[in-house]
Structure 1
Amino acid sequence: MSTSYPTKFSPTSGVGMNEAPGAKQIAPIEPSEAHVLVVEDNVPNFVLIARMLAFMGVQRCEWKTSGWQVVQFADTLPRVDLILMDIRLPYEDGYQALQKLRANPRLKDTIVCAVTAEASEDQMRRAKKAGFNGFLGKPLDPDRFPNQIRRLLSGEEVWEWK
């Protein structure tokens, strides 16, 4: 299943982290210019995340429901600045999907943040060791979420499980 929420068709501007192999982020990305992919198998959780992203100005948000879809789909997008990925996903979990993303030359430098209900210090350490750029424990805090996303879009790692 693939859904765009909210939808806005407009030319993109700025440099995405993965527009070319080896591309590096040189400046923070404004939420209004960000291209975000949410990988979440729970519809209410996706809707909550998409609404919070829209509230902070994100206009391009794509959705996938399983880990095995992520790399193939992300590789078809002209740009992906941030992937928010659940850990417990059907068919292929977030860790397996992350390995494939990191092995793809075009997507290897994309910011990927684990967003999971398995929020513990041990899971956070495992996510860091696996190569995630951040960890957000569920339930997400709507008061902290905008700052967490802005920090991720500026290249800062965010590790918060409570």
Structure 2
Amino acid sequence: RMLGYLGIHCEWKTSGYEVVEYADTLPRLDLILMDIRLPYEDGYGALKKIRASDRFKSVPIIAVTAEASMEQMKKAQDSGFDGFLGKPLDPDRFPDQIRRILNGEPVWEFT
């Protein structure tokens, strides 16, 4: 909902498999917000599959999780995510975080 208020078109997928499958149908992506704890295939597995495609190597993929901690953020960074946002997302900070990410700034925040 918050992305819609920013004028950003977004699609919600409920599993890592759906994210990978849907991404393959798009001509381009600007950003992927990936929940780490997805059913069937977690965000780490989906990240590997998406990164395997040359088309998506430069797309920022941001880990999002309710299990936000320094340890989880480090794991996401080591796994190849481009940023980290802890849940719950702060509606006052979220628009700025998205703008920063889309402008190429790394955003690593778990609080």
TM-score, normalized by length of structure 2? 0.96
Any idea what the Cα deviations from partners look like across 1:106-136, whole Å, max 9, x if unmatched? 1122110011101000000000111111100
Amino acid at match of 1:129: D
DSSP-derived class of the 2:62 partner = strand
Partner residue of 2:4? 54
DSSP-derived class of the 1:136 partner = strand
How many residues are aligned here?
111
Hey, what's the Cα distance between the residues in 1 that align with 2:88 and 2:19? 23
Amino acid at match of 2:2: M
DSSP-derived class of the 1:128 partner = helix
Partner residue of 2:75? 126
How far residue 79 of structure 1 moved from its aligned partner, in angstroms, is 1.5
Hey, what's the Cα distance between the residues in 2 that align with 1:132 and 1:78? 21
CA contact (8 A) 1:75 1:107 kept: no
Hey, what's the Cα distance between the residues in 2 that align with 1:104 and 1:78? 13
Task: Calculate the aligned-residue CA RMSD, in Å.
Answer: 0.8
TM-score, normalized by length of structure 1? 0.66
Structure 1 residue ranges (4+ consecutive) displaced by more than 6 angstroms after TM superposition: none
**Structure with max Cα Rg:** 1
- Counting aligned pairs with the same residue, the percent is 68
Amino acid at match of 1:53: L
Q: Which runs of 5+ in 2 are unaligned?
A: none
Amino acid at match of 1:131: G
Amino acid at match of 1:52: M
Q: Which residues in structure 2 correspond to 1:1-150 (within 5 Å)? A: 51-58=1-8, 60-150=9-99
Hey, what's the Cα distance between the residues in 2 that align with 1:110 and 1:72? 16
Instruction: Give the strand-richer structure, 1 or 2.
Output: 1
Q: Which runs of 5+ in 1 are unaligned?
A: 1-50
Partner residue of 2:108? 159
